[in-house]
Amino acid sequence: MSIIKRYPENPILTKDDVPYKVATVHNAGAVKYGGKYLLLFRSHLLNGRSIIGLAESTDGYNFKVNPEPFMIPSEEGDFKLYEEYGVEDPRITFIEGEYLITYSAYSRYGVRIGLAKTRDFKSIERFSLITEADYRNVVIFPERINGLYARLDRPHSEITPWSIWISYSKDLKYWGDSKVVMRPVKYHWDEMKIGPGAPPIKTSSGWLSIYHGVFQTMDGSVYRLGAALHDLKDPSKMLGVYDEWILQPEEEYEITGYVHNVVFTCGAIPEPDGTVKIYWGGADKVMCAGEAVLDELVSCCLNKSRSAL
Ligand code: BMA
């Protein structure tokens, strides 16, 4: 049996649930806010560029989409320049009273990461562009570690398959002390590239990271999800990387869509009962949800680990 139990009524959101014109609903960041579950989801417009919408729910499965988009490309300054082609794949971290949203900003200059902040999911302040080009998948830890903000990210490189790195910051603006923490493994389900998925979740055994891994086939790339555990005090240290995937495209809505054979997560919500709700885009077209037990994911990482580097 799969370690992630799919919600039986998946998909939980499709373009038909969106009151404005979009082609897809996928790759949503997720958070609990004011007793509700919120998703910030990506949608392709009919020109192929992406914007971000907001949906809310009382049970984490039945969502209602706001009448207006939440984030569209900025009209101001540097953000305007670097968001020209769209904003994609938001991740949300609650830290010190604020919700931090990291998102991919696309432009003629490549893809880089923007950081925006909100306290109420109504107004949003674009804070800074926190990478140069050729980065995606930035997730910020929900606590400072040794006094510093910490993030996982995925730079693009020609020399090694795209890997997961860690960096630190005093102010969320300037990042450094970067180190590679995890690499794809040759002839393995994640051999082509990996990237952080949901922001890390604190458990008593370590920071649990749900990431995506890609395998290239004669029929294109297959996106799956995996799990890894980082040391609580020094998250650059890997305690284990589960050898097997935890989710792969199996249902019709994951196999066929805008891009076939994709499950891609940007958010997961830990619950007080030790379960975690995981949200993923199915085939870059719809939003799906499922549930897992945190302890089980942690023991997979600790008991059946492949090498991290
Ligand atoms: C990645 C990103 C994701 C997308 C995935 C599968 O490179 O563009 O947003 O879900 O490809 O198409």
Distance CA 87, CA 103 (A): 6
> Once rounded to an integer, what is the mean pLDDT over residues 146-159?
96
Task: State yes or no: pLDDT of 21 exceeds 90.
Answer: yes
Kindly tell me the burial class for residue 256, based on how many C-beta atoms sit within 10 Å of its own C-beta (0-12, 13-18, 19 or more). middle
Q: 199 C-alpha vs ligand 1 centroid, how far in Å? A: 17
Substitution candidate for ligand 1 out of 262, 266, 279, 280 with most atoms within 8 A of CB: 262
Q: What is the mean pLDDT of residues 229-238?
A: 98
Q: List the one residue out of 138, 45, 127, 55 whose CA is nearest residue 89.
A: 138
Q: What is the pLDDT of residue 284?
A: 98
- Residue 83: both structure tokens together: 């968001």
Are 297 and 3 a contacting pair, CB within 8 Å? yes
pLDDT (mean) for 159-174: 97
Q: CB neighbours (10 Å) of residue 285?
A: 22
Residue nearest to atom 12 of ligand 1 (CA): 259
Report whether 51 contacts 86 (CB < 8 A): yes
5-306 belongs to CATH 3.40.50.300 = no
- 2 pLDDT band, cuts 50/70/90, is confident
Q: What is the pLDDT of residues 178-220, one digit of tens each?
A: 999 999 999 999 999 999 999 999 999 999 999 999 999 999 9
- Our measurement of the distance from residue 55's CA atom to the centroid of its chain's CA atoms, rounded to an integer in Å, reads 16
Averaged pLDDT for residues 220-224:
98
CA atoms within a 13 Å half-sphere pointing along the CA-CB vector of 244: 12
Q: Which whole number is the average pLDDT over 213-237?
A: 97
* Whether pLDDT at 1 is above 70: no
Ligand 1: which atom is nearest the Cα of residue 42? Answer: 9
Tokens of 152: 């996982």
Distance CA 56, CA 36 (A): 7
Ligand 1 surroundings by CB, under 6 angstroms: 27, 88-89, 223, 259, 262, 264, 281, 284
* Bridge partner list, 102: 91, 115
Task: Report the pLDDT averaged over residues 4-26.
Answer: 98
pLDDT tens column, 34-80: 999 999 999 999 999 999 999 999 999 999 999 999 999 999 999 99
Q: Is the pLDDT of residue 166 over 80?
A: yes
Query: Is residue 84 very low, low, confident or very high in pLDDT (cuts 50, 70, 90)?
Result: very high
Query: Is 81 strand, coil or helix?
Result: helix
Rounded to the nearest angstrom, the distance between the alpha carbon of 225 and the centre of ligand 1 is 13
Q: How far apart are CA 162 and CA 250, in angstroms?
A: 25
156 pLDDT more than 70 = yes
Element (H, E) at 137: strand 135-140
Euclidean distance between CA atoms 6 and 296, whole angstroms: 16
pLDDT mean across residues, the chain: 97
- Token code pair at residue 223: 């996106």
- As a whole-number percent, the residues of the chain with pLDDT over 90 amount to 99
**Mean pLDDT value of segment 127-131:** 98
Q: Is pLDDT at 285 greater than 70 in this prediction?
A: yes
- Give yes or no for a contact between 143 and 122, defined as CB atoms under 8 angstroms apart: no
Confidence (pLDDT) at 74: 98
- Centroid of ligand 1 to alpha carbon of 216 (angstroms): 14
Which of the 8 DSSP states describes residue 162? B
pLDDT band at 117 (very low <50, low <70, confident <90, very high): very high
User: If you search the block for the tokens 């209602």, which residue do you land on?
Assistant: 64
Asked whether 1 and 276 are in contact (CB, 8 A), the reply is no
- DSSP conformation class of 66: -
- The residue ranges of every structural domain in the chain are 5-306
DSSP H or E stretch at residue 268:
strand 263-270
